[in-house]
Amino acid sequence: MNKELRESILKSLKEGIRFDGRKLDEFRKIEVETGSINTAEGSAHVKIGNTEVLAGIKLQIEEPYPDTPDEGMMMVGMELLPLANPEFESGPPTEEAIEISRVIDRGIRESKCIDMKKLNVKKGEKSWAVMVDIAPINDAGNLLDAGSLAAILALKNTTMPEFDGEKIDYKKKTSKKLPLGKLPVSVTIAKIGDYFIVDPSSEEEEALDAKLTVASLDDGTLCAMQKAGYKPLSEDDIMKMIDMSLKAAKKLRVYHEKA
Amino acid sequence: MVYKERLNKRGFDEPRKIEAKTGVIKKADGSAYFRIGNTAAYAAVYGPRDLYPKFLQNPKEGILRCKYNMMPFSGRGERVRPGPSRRSREISLVTERALLPVLNLEDFPNAVVDVFIELPQTEAGSRCAGICAASMALADAGIPMKGMVSAVSVGRVDDKILVDLDYTEESYEGGPVADIPIAIVHETGQFSLLQMDGCITKDMLSKAFELGKKVCAKIYEAQKQAIKDRYKIGDDK
């Protein structure tokens, strides 16, 4: 960890201001666009400050898992492309990439926002598999929240291709959307010293002690959590971070309607 | 059957719509976005930087390493599985060969210049789009260059010679097809990429090259403009 960086970040936090001039609970500028990738069944392009991610949905027909023969499937993958950050390397997914993918996956899965039963075509034989792939273009911090927002917007944007019972015709899109219910929002709160911040930048990520990602629904139900970073958190810390996350989630939820 | 008309009434010597931008990835030392029709490519350059493992280092000059990758949702049909495939590895290799002739890496012994090409959406001509983006990104990164590389596919569909084949033309079944991706070094007019799938006569090939040269010159103008735009006065990029 870069000691000087951490000290100067702490110094400015003491004055109630972030390294880049933001308030503690302030996001960077958010821009969203959906449907810009026409090869995907659904897509979203999300920018949070200089952090930029693409999410695309591909649908395919597969045999359901033996323990859920009457349900569809979903998979979330974020590959940390070496294009997006000089620290990322080519090769098999790193632990970091696997963690981000799994935390986003859990947020979507545990919120039950996709009605998996409706994705079953023939019990025990055929179900729709929803493949959510997220690609970072530029990593300026907080890829997780950006990726999660992009994934949800891409799911909302998805239209089903035509399926005749045997083969999918990807060229023919129907007007049918995915069976979606209440949508989750993931917000990561970082802890640096005694301070809590939303939407950490690259510099803040380098200096943080711990962070907590909370996925929640609009009624305040928590549906997934993950603590990261190497310092422990007190119960009091955790409660504060959850409150802050729920508050911030309201700001992100606005973008569900915009796209 | 004779191939009469292209999709959207495009002329046989007319490329799809071109869009070129540089400096699109802040984290990178140089970056670019190139779009031709429905095929889009991002390129990011990192380096010159230290090369590991060490045995790959060349004490005489820096090396160029390119990686071409399709995003999982970038194909019209089924999901593209992440990770390198035989196809993507070959394209990475020919991309390196297409770009290396214009680079001057003598000043960077033991170092590597990494070029990452990512395609969010493809519909034929993706290696050429990748090369166009990569060439701009290298210039944007300030790597010493002797020229700019512009690439496009040329070929024949039935009796027609044409440029920038789209997907329907690549897979045309009414007659013989040849798909020939080429890259031209603008300053010398030399070819640094040449591949061909299909069959064609020598006469048709030289006609196809003529069309290709004209379109590459047009692409070059777009690339040059994109690099200039990055340094417009009053632009805070």
Judged by CB atoms closer than 8 Å, whether chains meet at A60 and B79 is answered as yes
Judged by CB atoms closer than 8 Å, whether chains meet at B121 and A39 is answered as yes
Judged by CB atoms closer than 8 Å, whether chains meet at A57 and B73 is answered as yes
Please tell me if residue A140 touches chain B, with a CB cutoff of 8 Å: yes
Cis (ω within 30 of 0) for the bond into A200?
no
**Helix B86-99 × helix B126-140 angle, to 10°:** 50
Give B54-75 pLDDT, tens digit per residue: 999 999 999 999 999 999 999 9
Rounded to whole angstroms, the Cα distance separating B78 from B76 reads 7
In chain B, the N- to C-terminal Cα span, in Å, equals: 52
Q: Of B113, B119, B104, nearest to B137 (Cα)?
A: B113
What the block records as the tokens of A33 is 């666009």
Please tell me if residue B123 touches chain A, with a CB cutoff of 8 Å: yes
Model confidence at B9: pLDDT above 90 = no
Q: Is the dihedral of CA A166, A171, A175, A177 positive or negative?
A: positive
- Residue B52 to chain A, least CA–CA distance (Å): 11
**Helix B126-140 × helix B202-230 angle, to 10°:** 40
Q: Is ipTM > 0.90 here?
A: no
Residues of chain A with pLDDT below 50 are: none
DSSP B199-229: ---HHHHHHHHHHHHHHHHHHHHHHHHHHHH
Judged by CB atoms closer than 8 Å, whether chains meet at B27 and A140 is answered as yes
What's the confidence (pLDDT) of residue A34? 97
Q: Is the dihedral of CA A247, A250, A255, A258 positive or negative?
A: negative
The beta-carbon neighbor of A39 closest among B42, B76, B83 is: B76
CA distances B95 to A81, B52, B90, B161, B211, Å, are 18, 21, 9, 25, 22
CA atoms within 13 A on the CB side of B47: 26
Confidence of residue B232 (pLDDT cuts 50, 70, 90): confident
Query: In residues, how long is chain A?
Result: 259
Contact call for residues A68 and A122 (beta carbons, < 8 A): no
Q: Of B116, B110, B138, B115, nearest to B50 (Cα)?
A: B110
Beta bridge partners of B42: B33, B118
Provide mean pLDDT across the span B104-133. 96
The more confident residue out of A4 and B44 is: B44
Could you identify the residue written with the tokens 């692409």?
B219
For β-strands B63-70 and B111-121, DSSP reports them as: parallel
Provide mean pLDDT across the span B25-42. 97
Judged by CB atoms closer than 8 Å, whether chains meet at A37 and B120 is answered as yes
Chain A, window 37-56: residues with a beta carbon less than 8 angstroms from a chain B beta carbon? 37-40, 43, 50, 52, 54, 56
Beta bridge partners of B97: none
Q: In this structure, how many other beta carbons lie within 10 angstroms of the beta carbon of residue B26?
A: 15
Give A151-173 pLDDT, tens digit per residue: 999 999 999 999 998 899 998 88
What's the confidence (pLDDT) of residue A143? 97
How many Å separate Cα B235 from the centre of its chain? 27
Beta bridge partners of A159: A177
Model confidence at B237: pLDDT above 60 = no
Residue A55 DSSP SS3: strand
The beta-carbon neighbor of B73 closest among A40, A138, A140 is: A40
Confidence of residue B235 (pLDDT cuts 50, 70, 90): low
Please tell me if residue A133 touches chain B, with a CB cutoff of 8 Å: yes
Burial class (CB in 10 A: 0-12, 13-18, 19+), B141: buried
What the block records as the tokens of A118 is 């409706």
In chain A, the N- to C-terminal Cα span, in Å, equals: 38
Model confidence at B1: pLDDT above 70 = no
Domain ranges in chain A?
21-258
- Residue A78 to chain B, least CA–CA distance (Å): 10
Rounded to whole angstroms, the Cα distance separating A43 from A257 reads 15
Classified by CATH at the fold level, domain A21-258 comes out as: Ribosomal Protein S5; domain 2 (3.30.230)
What's the confidence (pLDDT) of residue B7? 84
The overall average pLDDT reported for chain B is 93
What are the two backbone dihedrals, phi and then psi, of residue B215, each rounded to the nearest 5 degrees?
-70, -40
What the block records as the tokens of A247 is 């508050």
Burial class (CB in 10 A: 0-12, 13-18, 19+), A189: buried
What's the confidence (pLDDT) of residue A2? 77
What's the confidence (pLDDT) of residue B8? 82
Contact call for residues B124 and B74 (beta carbons, < 8 A): no
Judged by CB atoms closer than 8 Å, whether chains meet at B114 and A82 is answered as yes
Give B149-204 pLDDT, tens digit per residue: 999 999 999 989 999 999 999 888 888 999 999 999 999 999 999 999 989 999 99
What is the reported pTM?
A: 0.91
**All domains of chain B, ordered by start, with CATH?**
15-229 (3.30.230.70)
> Which residues in B lie closer than 8 A to residue A131 (C-beta atoms)?
72-73, 79
Nearest CA in chain A to B70: A135
Burial class (CB in 10 A: 0-12, 13-18, 19+), B56: exposed
